[in-house]
């Protein structure tokens, strides 16, 4: 079986690359042939080129060349359909990641002040219809498609009405399998399909990385020697933009407290933004996705922004404290705790919400540095391990369901063609 994988393969983003690599290695282990659909809309390409340096983009291009089998470049859904025929691809696996986005016009109005507003214009990969929603299928006679742990990323789906809602429902109904990464996205799919589809909430593939791709992860000895790191270290990683979650005084207080307990502090970068602060150890501005994974895997704790560091921590039994920079801060005039955040959804499922603060809250108060350090030192690793094992089982069940449906549909197609 030849499986085309469609996701954010071209993004310069640690998590995006790792979840794709996890899926690719899993497909290989199932005895199938993975092929990554090289769909890169021009506006998306221009956007990520602005976000990442030339050095980072070149590194990711080299990693895609070394670890992935890519189709020829596709700019449109029609191109994807042509490639599916040319490559004799049997089925399409879409996801994981923010692949079921749509941001209605009302959501995109922003008011910096009462008399001035602007309209945000997302790139085409974030607006329906696009290839992530299976738009290419209309150019084909038939092909099984699975949506794996799709996420809507704070889309205010309740503003989607009328014909647009009906069209999105029709697209969802074309899928042979459909799952989502969080409850917000689950509610969106239920809303769009008038409750005909209640998709399961399933894990990000990085929750299975050690099972699928551990042979690709650098050793701890290699990482320590390459970056000149001590045995015991805690990672601190805060994004400079859109706003910094803490200040340098906070970082200094955290480092001083960590040092008293025998831990050094290490600063790691983002692929699409600078990291904030002066920290004792700094691994540099450009590192590979696999080195980034290993740095977290072998650490004694992670403190900072973004989702995938939390996923890597959970998967590897690493204590963490999340300064959650996702989620809608205000809905219908009411402040929220970022319930639409993918981090919130994961930690809620793990019963580890107390290791998170929502930085988007209008009344955000920075937690004390030593309180955050104490949460790392007293972290409930047993609860973390139990959750990780539970989520891995969910992942296995999801992938078994996808392959069973692909196999069944293709078997019927083959019988009909004979």
Show the 3-state SS of 292-305. HHHHHHCCCCEEEC
Confidence of residue 334 (pLDDT cuts 50, 70, 90): low
* Under 8 Å between Cβ of 268 and 226: no
Check residue 274 and give its pLDDT. 80
Check residue 125 and give its pLDDT. 92
Beta-ladder partners of 282 = 267
More confident residue, 296 or 360: 296
Query: In angstroms, rounded to a whole number, what is the distance separating the alpha carbons of residues 277 and 406?
Result: 48
Check residue 113 and give its pLDDT. 53
Q: pLDDT for 120-167, tens place per residue?
A: 688 999 999 999 999 999 999 889 999 999 999 878 899 999 999 999
Q: pLDDT for 51-79, tens place per residue?
A: 788 999 999 999 999 999 999 999 999 99
Beta-ladder partners of 357 = 323
Query: In angstroms, rounded to a whole number, what is the distance separating the alpha carbons of residues 94 and 97?
Result: 9
- Report which of 402, 411, 415 is spatially closest to residue 30, judged by C-alpha positions: 402
Length of the chain counted residue by residue: 418
Check residue 363 and give its pLDDT. 83
Query: In angstroms, rounded to a whole number, what is the distance separating the alpha carbons of residues 263 and 295?
Result: 15
Q: How far is CA 286 from CA 22, 62, 228, 276, 283, in A?
A: 22, 13, 16, 15, 8
Strand locations in 7-127, DSSP E? 33-36, 91-97, 109-113, 116-119
What percentage of the chain exceeds 70 in pLDDT? 94
Q: pLDDT for 201-210, tens place per residue?
A: 999 999 999 9
SS3 call for 325: coil
Whether residue 249 is predicted with pLDDT greater than 60 in this model: the reply is yes
Mean pLDDT of the chain: 92
More confident residue, 411 or 374: 374
Lowest-confidence region among 85-99, 195-209, 217-231, 270-284 = 270-284
Check residue 240 and give its pLDDT. 84
Backbone angles phi, psi at 197, to 5 degrees: -120, 125
DSSP class of 9: T
DSSP class of 386: H
What angle (nearest 5°) sits at the alpha carbon of residue 9, between those of residues 46 and 47?
15
- Count other Cβ atoms within 10 Å, centred on residue 362: 8
Query: In angstroms, rounded to a whole number, what is the distance separating the alpha carbons of residues 64 and 20?
Result: 10
Q: How far is CA 312 from CA 174, 393, 415, in A?
A: 33, 16, 43
Q: How far is CA 137 from CA 214, 283, 302, 409, in A?
A: 34, 44, 42, 15
Query: In angstroms, rounded to a whole number, what is the distance separating the alpha carbons of residues 124 and 47?
Result: 11
- Report which of 190, 208, 204 is spatially closest to residue 99, judged by C-alpha positions: 204
Q: pLDDT for 343-399, tens place per residue?
A: 988 999 899 999 999 988 888 899 999 999 999 999 999 999 999 999 999 999 999
Check residue 305 and give its pLDDT. 92
């Amino acid at each position: 079986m030849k499986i085309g994988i469609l996701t954010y393969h071209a993004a310069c983003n640690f998590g995006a690359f790792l979840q794709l690599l996890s899926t690719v290695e899993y497909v290989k282990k199932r005895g199938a042939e993975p092929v990554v659909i090289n769909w890169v809309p021009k506006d998306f390409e221009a956007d990520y080129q602005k976000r990442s340096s030339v050095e980072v983009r070149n590194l990711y291009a080299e990693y895609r060349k070394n670890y992935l089998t890519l189709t020829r470049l596709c700019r449109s859904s029609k191109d994807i359909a042509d490639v599916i025929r040319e490559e004799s691809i049997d089925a399409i696996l879409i996801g994981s990641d923010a692949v079921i986005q749509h941001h209605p016009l009302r959501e995109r109005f922003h008011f910096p002040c009462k008399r001035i507003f602007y309209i945000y214009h997302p790139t085409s990969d974030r607006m329906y219809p696009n290839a992530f929603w299976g738009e290419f299928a209309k150019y084909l006679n038939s092909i099984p498609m699975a949506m794996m742990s799709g996420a809507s990323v704070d889309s205010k789906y309740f503003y989607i009405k009328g014909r647009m809602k009906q069209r999105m429902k029709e697209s969802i109904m074309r899928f042979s399998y459909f799952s989502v990464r969080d409850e917000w996205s689950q509610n969106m799919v239920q809303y769009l399909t008038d409750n005909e589809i209640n998709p399961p909430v399933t894990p990000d593939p990085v929750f299975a990385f050690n099972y699928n791709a551990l042979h690709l992860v650098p050793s701890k000895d290699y990482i320590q020697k390459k970056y000149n790191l001590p045995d015991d270290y805690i990672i601190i990683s805060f994004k400079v933009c859109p706003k910094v979650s803490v200040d340098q005084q906070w970082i200094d207080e955290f480092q001083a407290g960590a040092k008293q307990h025998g831990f050094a502090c290490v600063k790691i970068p983002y692929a699409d933004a600078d990291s904030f602060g002066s920290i004792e150890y700094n691994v540099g501005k450009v590192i590979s996705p696999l080195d980034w994974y290993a740095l977290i895997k072998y650490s004694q704790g992670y403190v900072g922004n973004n989702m995938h560091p939390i996923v890597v921590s959970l998967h590897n039994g690493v204590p963490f404290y999340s300064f959650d920079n996702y989620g809608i801060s205000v809905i219908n005039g009411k402040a929220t705790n970022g319930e639409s955040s993918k981090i919130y959804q994961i930690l809620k499922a793990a019963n580890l919400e107390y290791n998170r603060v929502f930085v988007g809250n209008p009344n955000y108060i920075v937690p004390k540095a030593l309180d955050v350090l104490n949460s790392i030192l007293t972290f409930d690793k047993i609860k973390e391990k139990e959750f990780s094992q539970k989520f891995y089982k969910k992942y296995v069940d999801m992938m078994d369901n996808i392959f069973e449906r692909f196999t069944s549909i293709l078997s019927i197609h083959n019988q009909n063609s004979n």
